[in-house]
Chain A
Amino acid sequence: MHMPAISPSEAPILDLQNVSAGYRRGGLLSPPQHPVLRDITLSVRRGEAMGLLGESGSGKSTLGRVILGLLPALSGTIRFDGQALPRSTGAAWRDLRRRIQVVFQDSNSTLHPAHTILWSLTEPMRIHGLGTPEEREARALAMLEDVGLEPGMARAMPKSLSGGQRQRVGIARALMLSPELIVADEPVSALDVSVQAQVLNLLKSVQQKHGLTILFISHDMPVVEAFCDRAAVMAKGELVEIGSPLELLRDPKTEATRRLCVVSN
């Protein structure tokens, strides 16, 4: 089995115990009518690439939102680096937001269309009140280099970038605050096939260089198999199977996993 260059230490960086979540209809006192996540228990080690596999509606992206603090859990506990994540999404999250970052399927949504790439890259540091303008720019240029883009790209506008370049910028932006955990939600799904491998290789090298833990949300078994050390399969809001991706591929124990494997021929 493949071992990552940075061996995951035993203490989990992220630990979910019996987490349920859902979207309430009506007032705060009304019960959640449709729990989207039920009783999720999952432990992610520091330095690990953990896949979160599932079809649409399986709850995998909702789980990502809960871990990012964008949707409060209804019950259960989530610990990040030993500390319980606050239920509220307010000020208590400020420090955590720095340590947990996100890469979306299409990074266009994180790039301001009327500003340069440099502006969007330095935005997280400005929001967190970190550094002088010179320090922020220096950090942005260093991160551009880490994702394999020319420094000149800093002055470019988002619309002049190709899909692959935009996704590299999205990764660079997620790195700006030196996070420990990155939630990557379908990071290569929107890219052309001939560009996907470039971005997967890049994300892996960035993970190793910065010692990141990555939660890799995807419906794409071959991609998860290539990127992740372990993967959890979700179906109908529950976590149904967990193992090394190759084990899941070769010996799926649940129907949900089998369905995800079928397509990869």
Chain B
Amino acid sequence: MLAVQDLWVRLKPSLGGHPIVRGVGLQLQPGERIAIVGESGSGKSTVALALLGLLPRDVMQQSGSLTLDGEDLSDAGEDDWHTIRGRKVAMVFQDPAGALNPVLTIGEQLVEVYRAHDDRPRAEQRQLAVQQLAAMGFADPDRIIGLYPHQMSGGMKQRAVIAMATALHPGLIVADEPTTALDPSIRAQILALLVQKSEADRSSLVLVTHDLAETVRVAHRIAVFYHGRMVEVGPAERILARSRHPYTRALLNARPQPGQRAGELPVIPGRPPLPSEQFPGCAFAPRCSRAGESCHKTLPELTEIEPNHAYACHFPL
């Protein structure tokens, strides 16, 4: 189980000291899948890095608590994280090529994962690697195991990355925009694979994405981020069908619908705020058609108003 409480991430004072993540809380049961949705500057990727112990410590400072399976990781150092990553927490990033070593075959890299964490005979590790690739939907794992990354398509590479990330059955998978660099038709397959792995291992999944539509097939819950805060969180169907925060609704309506014409598309005015900007009230208020005086003055707290459905808005939909 993952529990995050009052997570703040700030730039170092010498770099301005402004917060990038502003008091985020999150609880995830084993096997539960949540999507973190937001635009640039929302802090969504910074949360993902914090969950992986990958915040650049020379640039950012973190406060709040982070526990995984009862273990307090709030003050874990780089050495601690080294053993946690791979075994307990897995990561899948946007660019699969960057996660693979170009001069080693997929098999060599996968065997390396097993070897780093246990001392089975090499032949047995290779057998595990073949099985793991088969579980990733590769029809011919014996051939794939001998391929180099440059011999594979983007979708195949991302499958190989997921094979490595989940080889040791970690309890938590953090996937940051895992499909953004892939062709649209491949995206659904990669998401399905993540769901399948999470179900097989009963591992929790945090899917970080800018695309609210792609969360449908994946997540039990959706958390919407804006300006470093969680502004709405709830069951996925409920968020998609009956979101209460105007920003969530605006995101849902932002993509052109069939029959809508450019020139007359509904727009959200302005742009997503930068982390360095300050708002006494709600950060979305300057762009919000429902905003009243109180929105510009008082920060709305994230409050559970309906069961399992919380939102931070003075004038919800």
Contacts and interface: CB of A to CB of B under 8 A. Distances in A.
Interface of A: 2, 55-56, 162-165, 192-198, 200-201, 203-205, 208, 219-223, 225-227, 246, 249, 259-260, 262-263, 265
B262 A200 contact: yes
27 contacts: A55-B183, A56-B154, A163-B271, A192-B210, A192-B272, A193-B255, A194-B39, A194-B250, A194-B254, A194-B268, A194-B271, A197-B256, A197-B266, A201-B267, A204-B261, A204-B263, A205-B263, A208-B263, A222-B258, A226-B256, A226-B261, A227-B262, A246-B259, A260-B184, A263-B184, A263-B187, A265-B213
Contacts of A163: 40, 271
User: Interface on chain A toward B: helix, strand, loop, or mixed SS?
Assistant: helix
Interface in B192-237: 210-213, 216
Contact of A56 (B183, B188, B212, B254): B183
B14 interface: no
Contacts of B211: 193
Interface of B: 39-40, 154, 183-185, 187-188, 210-213, 216, 250-251, 254-269, 271-272, 287
B254 A222 contact: no
Given A194-B287, A198-B269, 12 more contacts: A55-B183, A165-B271, A193-B211, A194-B268, A197-B256, A200-B256, A219-B184, A225-B256, A226-B261, A259-B184, A260-B184, A262-B185
Contacts of B287: 194
A160 B30 CA distance: 44
A165 B272 CA distance: 12
A204 B262 contact: yes
A193 B185 contact: no
Contacts of B263: 201, 204-205, 208
B258 A201 contact: no
Contacts of B254: 193-194, 196-197
A163 B270 CA distance: 11
A225 B260 CA distance: 8
A262 B267 contact: no
B98 to A, nearest CB: 17
Nearest to A54: B183
Contacts of B260: 226
Contacts of B213: 265
B166 to A, nearest CB: 24
Contact of A200 (B39, B185, B188, B265): B265
B55 to A, nearest CB: 23
Contacts of A265: 213, 216
Which are the 10 A-B pairs with shortest beta-carbon distances? A226-B256, A263-B184, A204-B263, A259-B185, A197-B265, A204-B262, A192-B39, A227-B262, A55-B183, A200-B262
B43 to A, nearest CB: 14
